[in-house]
Structure formats: structure tokens, C-alpha cells
Structure 1
Amino acid sequence: MRLFVLLLLSCLLAPYEGLGQTTAATEAAAQATALQRVNQLVLERRYESAWKLLKFLDQMNTDPAVALQKTEVALRYYTATDELKRFNFRDLKLLDLSPDSLRQLGQDSVRYSFPVRRVLEKLQQQYPDNYKLDRALGDYYFTVQQCDCAEPELSEDEVFQRTIKHYQQAHDHGQGDYLSYFALGYSYQRLGQFKESLAPFERSIQLRKNYPTAHLNLAFVYLELKEFDKARNHARRAVELFPDDAHKEDAAFLLSQIEERMKTATAAKTQ
């Protein structure tokens, strides 16, 4: 297997000279080139090939940049997992499946070891100022909650609390995007901390105005807070933005509930 990976890497990086040189600048350039190639493989949906390249680059998981890339590939593109410690991947054709269908491919015989939490926490001890590791740990705990496939000893509330802790630390140091802000808002929402969820949901929409799931969740939160006009506006936006009928129906149902609550509140005021 190692010989295959070596040959693969050699082919992938053949146009780039100086890979074997030992200067820090050359090594950094070579790594950047390899990580760009990983991104290209992911875009081509060649997830197992991307993983093999990452594994060759850093077999011992000591390089934060490579470990972060491994975390992203592992959490987003596995076909099956053993408690987010071992993973299966496949190379797909571009039009084979939607990303949401990867988990339907079934179990593969090949498993790749990558205990996400342990790797990230160990690196965090060595690089305490690398807040990308906090972002990755936030992604990890959010994935734990979503898949219910790891950390069985933790309650769901504890998983949400750890998600919040790591995302807050990452966001405080400029490491966040619309997905991490959405996940932070969702964690507060699920803990019943509705007011705390508002700012991250709003930030998620600020970063990605057409993200329907954030609009839908904001509608729910504003409904809970009895801010009906805001709830209705976000529910309407969610109905407009969702591309599929199933999610549109969910948003439309929430919109109908909001409008019903508004009628009830108005009737109560006039009595």
C-alpha cells in the first residue's frame, strides 16, 4: 500500500521540482502544492485518493495543516465510520450521487484510522494559538450530535456545550464561516438558549444571505421569543430559498404556524 501511495504522490506532484529538498521554504511550497491537489481531488469527488495523499503527507498526524485537511475530508465525505475514529471513503464519478447520499453506499472492507478528537486535542496542546484547531473541534462535536455515531458517554447537552465552547473560541479569533455560525446558533437553540442563538444565526445569514436553513431556524427562534413579524419574514424567506419540495413544505408549515399564532395574539389584544 505504501508503495502505491508513493507512486501516486510522485505522479501527482511530478511537475513540481524540489520536493526532496530540505529547506523550510521548499517543504512549505511542496506541502501547499500537495494540499491544493487534495482540494482538487475532493472537487473531483475522488475522496479515497484525497485521503491517501493526505495520509502519505503526514502519517503520524503531527502537522496541523494536514490534520485539519484530514478532519474536513473525514467528517464531510466518509461513506461509513466507526465512532469517528476509523473511516471509509470512495472515489466517485462526478454525477454518481449527491453528497447527502454518501452514507447510503454501505460498508467497505477498507478502513482508515483517524481518531479525530484525539488527534486534534493532541495538536492543540502543542499549538495552543492555532484556533483553526478549535474550529475543527467544533466541527467534530457538531458532527457527533448530527450523526449520533460517537462519544456515547457524553449526553447530548454536553456535546452541544463542547460545540459551543470550541466554536466560540474559534470565532473570537477570526476562524469561522456561515456553517460554523449556523452550528453555534443551532447548539444554543437546542439547549433552549434562544436569545443566545440569535447573533450566530444572524451572522450566518450575513455571511451567506441565501442559506435557507439559517432562515428556517431563525424563524423558529423568533417564534419562541414571540417576535412574530421577524419569525414570519424568515419563514417566508426559507420557503423561497429551499430548492426541494420537502424542505419547502417544512418551511411552509412553520410559516402557517407563525401566522396562526399571530392571529391568536391579535385576537387576544382585541378582547
Structure 2
Amino acid sequence: MRPFVFLLLFLLAPSISWAQTTAAAEAAAQATALRRANQLVLERRYESAWKLLKFLDQMNLDPAVALKKTELALNYYTATDELKRFAFRDLKLLDLSPDSLRQLEVDTPRYSFPVRRVLEKLQEKYPDNYKLDRALGDYYFAVQQCDCAEQELGEDAVFQRTIKHYQQAHDHGQGDYLSYFALGYSYQRLGKFQESLAPFERSIELRKDSPTTHLNLAFVYLELKEFEKAQAHARRAVELFPDDAHKEDAAYLLGQIEERMKATAATQTP
């Protein structure tokens, strides 16, 4: 029997080697295509990036490609049908931002990509891929921000799902300053101010110059009656916001905080 086994292994070796070589070549080709898609996004050629990703994985079976599609869809669409179909534009470097283009209602082709369904199907197959949880957190946060999908859920349920997926992602090392901000914001909007502190503070650790995070922390600390911390974050927000409108908002909150500090001090004076 032993010579037969050796002969069988000898005969199978070329096919095994070929399969390994093919898999390596496919992985390398995919990595090259994803890098190209990233470059197209940097060049603001969003529709071209989408077409490349669509060609790369038409059935949305590959987590890496689906995650890149999700990032592109949620951040760079010019129009959407309930976050299930998306329109994109290739922009010139000096063109309007995607947010501005959304206001123009330009008639462009729409590509099918039901974000939630795609990610949940992949999660069933790859339950340990926590990047999918991160993407689902991004999806539900986008739902709340645009108010353009999942109308049957209600805002509180959307925030709860946002928290669930971001917490799972963060517990497994999948997070950045934006996801921590979104988690803190979700707790804040649910009135869970104490729970919002840790993710907001983590967001600040990862991006110290984010004025929006400082502003939200100022509001939370005000609600918790930690006035000195609220004042410090509000002042930082005033410093960091680049435009007058947001500076005025932060300055108004700072004024409210300082009024509360004065009123509290007056009540404590014998």
C-alpha cells in the first residue's frame, strides 16, 4: 500500500501546486485592483472606482471587495434609493463636494448595492470577520445621518444597532476616531451621557484636533455637571472649527457653560 500512496501523492502534487499558485495569483490580482480602486477614490473618480469594484465581485461574495464597496457607497454617492441603490460621479479635483452634488439632483445611473443585506449575508458566512461589524455600524450611523432608509425601525432602534455593531467591532480591534465618535454620539442621543464619555475620549485620543468631538464632549460634560471639563472642550472646539458658523455654535455653548458655572458658584457662596 505504501508505494501506491507515494504514487498518488506524486500524481496529486502538480495539481496542488497549481491550485496554490492560482490562489496566490488571484489574491495578488485582487490586491492590485483594490489599490487601484483606492487611487481612483483619491482622484475623486468615484463612478470609475465603483465600476472596477463591481467587475471585481459582481455577486458581492468577497468580504474585502464588499467592504470597499460599502465605504464608497456610504461616503461618496451623489444620490441613493434607501441605501440600496447608489449613483456616483467622476469629479474633477475642483468640482463640488459629493454633499453639494447631492443637492443638484443630477440624473445619473444607479447601481444596486443593498448595503445591509450584503453585509448581513457575508456575516453569516464569515462570523469572525469583525470588519463586517464595523461596516454595519457605519451603515446604521449613515442611516441616522441621512434619514433616508430603515424608516420602519425608528431612530432609537437605529442608534441601538449602531452601538451593537460598533461595540462588537471595537472589542475586536476594528475602530478608528470616526467609529468611536459615532458610538459616543449614539449613546449621547439616547441620553446615555455617562456611556458616551469613553468612546468620545477614545476618539479624541485618536484625533486630537477633531472640533466636532470636542463640542459633543463639552455638551456631555455639561449634562453631567462637570463644568470645568465642559468648558475646556468647548474652548478647544472654538479654537479648532475653521468656519465662523461652527465657531459661533461652539462659542454659544461655551457661554452657556460659563453661565452655569457662575450660577453654581453663586449658590455655593455663603
- TM-score w.r.t. length of structure 1: 0.91
Q: Structure 2, unaligned stretches of length 5 or more?
A: 1-19
SS of 2:86's equivalent in the other structure is strand
C-alpha deviations, 1:237-268, integer Å up to 9, x for none?
Answer: 00000111111111001000000000000011
* Partner residue, 1:216: 215
* Partner residue, 2:67: 68
Q: Structure 1, unaligned stretches of length 5 or more?
A: 1-20
C-alpha deviations, 1:3-59, integer Å up to 9, x for none?
Answer: xxxxxxxxxxxxxxxxxx971111111100100000000000000000000000000
C-alpha deviations, 1:116-136, integer Å up to 9, x for none?
Answer: 000000000000000000000
Letter in 1 for 2:24: A
* Partner residue, 1:185: 184
Letter in 2 for 1:193: K
Letter in 2 for 1:165: K
- Within 5 Å, give how 1:65-104 maps onto structure 2: 65-104=64-103
Deviation at residue 99 of structure 1 after TM alignment: 4.4
* Partner residue, 1:114: 113
* Partner residue, 1:200: 199
Larger radius of gyration: 2
- TM-score w.r.t. length of structure 2: 0.91
**2:264 matches 1:265:** yes
Deviation at residue 100 of structure 1 after TM alignment: 3.4
Distance in 1 (CA, whole Å) between partners of 2:212 and 2:98 is 17
Distance in 1 (CA, whole Å) between partners of 2:269 and 2:31 is 66
Distance in 1 (CA, whole Å) between partners of 2:107 and 2:184 is 35
* Partner residue, 1:254: 253
* Partner residue, 1:12: none
CA RMSD of aligned residues (A): 1.1
**Number of residue equivalences:** 251
* Partner residue, 1:45: 44
SS of 2:191's equivalent in the other structure is coil
SS of 1:65's equivalent in the other structure is helix
* Partner residue, 1:233: 232
C-alpha deviations, 1:171-208, integer Å up to 9, x for none?
Answer: 00000000000000000000000000000000000000
Q: Is the 8 A contact 2:136 2:165 kept in 1?
A: yes
Distance in 2 (CA, whole Å) between partners of 1:107 and 1:162 is 32
SS of 2:103's equivalent in the other structure is helix
Identity of aligned residues (%): 86
Distance in 2 (CA, whole Å) between partners of 1:204 and 1:99 is 25
Letter in 2 for 1:200: P
SS of 1:179's equivalent in the other structure is helix
Distance in 2 (CA, whole Å) between partners of 1:35 and 1:124 is 21
Distance in 1 (CA, whole Å) between partners of 2:202 and 2:249 is 23
* Partner residue, 1:6: none
Distance in 2 (CA, whole Å) between partners of 1:22 and 1:59 is 24
SS of 1:105's equivalent in the other structure is coil
Q: Is the 8 A contact 1:77 1:102 kept in 2?
A: no
SS of 2:195's equivalent in the other structure is helix
Q: Is the 8 A contact 2:88 2:108 kept in 1?
A: no
Q: Is the 8 A contact 1:88 1:107 kept in 2?
A: no
SS of 1:168's equivalent in the other structure is helix
* Partner residue, 1:136: 135
Distance in 1 (CA, whole Å) between partners of 2:145 and 2:101 is 15
